[in-house]
Amino acid sequence: MTCAGRPHLGAPLGTRDYIDTFVSEKVDQWSGDLKLLSAIATTQPHAAFAAFSHGLFCKWSFLSRTTPQVSHLFQALETIIRSEFIPSLTGQPPPNDSSRGLFGLPARFGGMGIRNPVTMSDLEFSASRKICAPLVELILERRNDYPYECLVVQFTAKSAVQQLRREQASHSVEELKGSLSATSRRAMELASEKGASNWLTSLPIEEFGFCLHKGAFMDALALRYGWSPSNIPLHCECGAIFTVEHVLSCKRGGFPIIRHNEIRDLTATLLTEVCHDVLIEPDLQPLTGEVLARATAVKTDGARLDIAVNGLWGGRFERTYMDVRVFNPHAPSNRGSSISNCYRKHENEKKRAYEQRLLEVEHSTFTPLVFSATGGMARQATTFYKRLASMLAEKRDHSYSSTLCWVRSRLAFSLLRSAIQCIRGARSSIGHAIKSSLPIDLVNAEAQLRLS
């Protein structure tokens, strides 16, 4: 029997030839789409990446799950991904094997989720077969119900498949680490942190500020993978050699303060939606004889923290103070420590400075909000934003998971834009002189006006 609806396929329906011809036709069509997307990526890389990961990729992913032994037919797609799509997206030459492996990892493991269609095909098919086995049995038995036991079996199979994928990804990460430089390894660890990849996996929605132009997208990838951004000066305005490590901390231009204030203001704005009495930079009460045992405690009059809020953790009048710190994980003071130790160190510094005074004088609690400039956050900040997302979800009548994802994306984009500003922002007016036809010397101008 030949397929009446597909006379061009020729071979009898369901035979190996039929399947191969059908898949080859699909691959030809997707190859054309992929080439077009590669051309778009040269001017709109963020939109092209979203179209790939949320659209085109899902097409051959579905075919892989439902059609056995077709992996060899996907080679044409992998060739275009490697030679055209990734170079257009990253502005880098075609990747070698280890770089290709890195880009193929899930975003939460530091990759970009651009999986190799050849190697993923058979794995996807066997995983799908395991998950769908109970449904196949029901269909063969001609059942029209969906018993609870079947749901449990499917859920267990799905969990096992997800666990297997995690283990495979972890194994690939360990293998890749051996072939990467120390800088790339550190960048990969930072990119694997929770929240550090939300800018990459979010849809580029302009309304939320989630859309990056081509330069920003390339800089974001350079920061993520430890590459040197393109077209940067040799020296910073302060005289130091211009490196990402330096400019993320350089105070010239005030960018670290802008980065800190951005996180503070975003957090305070979200808090005003769900809490009472939100204040930015509230003054602490002056000490009038209280003795703070900790030598590192801040004891000065006029001390202030970043945010104060009522009703966050407990009762309506229970006050919580927060202080934001965004540290540079590439700075010499942090470079030698593991990421978790960096977070602990900065959290403890904040707590040693303020916690005792807040507990004993203000009768309030303290939550340090510590971030890495690359998008990750410390343990207490994670707990805080989960609480905030839970309150926002209840207020807006949205799901907790989608609200938390949105909050993390907002924070990730704020930190990313701040980091890009540190690289691209003007630190001096030298070379940016504003030529005005208006008189700048107001005294002389006024005199001239009187004379005339």
- Contact residues for Zn ion, defined by CB under 5 A: 236, 238, 240, 250, 252
Long-range CB pairs of 100-104, under 8 A, 24+ apart, other chains included: 101/172, 101/175, 101/176, 102/176, 102/180, 102/188, 102/225, 104/172
Q: Specify the residue for token string 């929605």.
A: 205
How far CA 343 is from CA of 7, 195, 325, 368, in Å, comes to: 63, 14, 10, 11
Nearer to Zn ion, 70 or 247 (CB): 247
Nearer to Zn ion, 79 or 428 (CB): 428
Nearer to Zn ion, 238 or 292 (CB): 238
CB of 325 to Zn ion, least distance (A): 20
DSSP state of 68: S
59: three-class secondary structure by DSSP: helix
Estimate the crossing angle of helix 16-41 against helix 57-66, to 10 degrees.
160
Q: Give bridge partners of residue 72 from the DSSP assignment.
A: none
CB of 242 to Zn ion, least distance (A): 8
Nearer to Zn ion, 211 or 420 (CB): 420
Q: Give bridge partners of residue 367 from the DSSP assignment.
A: 322
What span, in angstroms and rounded, lies between the C-alpha atoms of 12 and 116? 30
CB of 431 to Zn ion, least distance (A): 15
Nearer to Zn ion, 7 or 332 (CB): 332
Nearer to Zn ion, 236 or 297 (CB): 236
Q: Alpha helix (H) ranges present in 178-228? A: 182-191, 198-201, 214-225
CB of 256 to Zn ion, least distance (A): 11
| CB-based contacts of 76, cutoff 8 Å, min separation 6 | 27, 28, 31
CB of 234 to Zn ion, least distance (A): 12
Nearer to Zn ion, 250 or 278 (CB): 250
CB of 224 to Zn ion, least distance (A): 22
Q: Alpha helix (H) ranges present in 42-96? A: 45-51, 57-66, 75-80, 86-90
Name the helix (H) or strand (E) containing 320: strand 319-327
Tell me the CA end-to-end span of the chain in Å, nearest whole number. 101
CB of 260 to Zn ion, least distance (A): 17
Nearer to Zn ion, 238 or 279 (CB): 238
How far CA 427 is from CA of 139, 247, 415, in Å, comes to: 67, 10, 19
Nearer to Zn ion, 41 or 423 (CB): 423
CB of 423 to Zn ion, least distance (A): 11
The HSE-up count of residue 73 (CA atoms within 13 Å, CB side) is 23
CB of 430 to Zn ion, least distance (A): 14
Q: Under a CB-based contact definition with an 8 Å cutoff, are residues 386 and 404 in contact? A: yes
Nearer to Zn ion, 132 or 240 (CB): 240
CB of 346 to Zn ion, least distance (A): 22
